[in-house]
Amino acid sequence: MALNDNEITVCLFDAGSGAPVTEALEVDAIVRSAQDETHVHLRPAGGNCSSGRGRFILDPRMRVSIQVRSSGQPLTQASFEPMKRVAY
């Protein structure tokens, strides 16, 4: 996942094999910051990536939920804290 002010890009990979997922999928993001919640519909952006624009700014406390739908499959969802510092 890559984030810039007002833009999000998500690239999908199979959890088992690690192979890029290139089949037609419907992808949405819910961006939550301290003050707002923004829903962004992502469109195909080439290969296994989808991207979209919405009204949000980068915030150290933000959380992003990605929802992926594929025909005939249950909704898949994952949440991230993309700005959170990780101690190594």
* Gap between the Cα atoms of 16 and 43, Å rounded: 24
pTM of the shown model: 0.82
Q: What sign for the dihedral angle of Cα 46, 67, 21, 71?
A: negative
pLDDT in tens, 37-81: 999 999 999 889 999 999 888 888 899 999 999 877 888 899 998
CATH of domain 2-80: 2.60.40
Would you say residue 22 has pLDDT above 80?
no
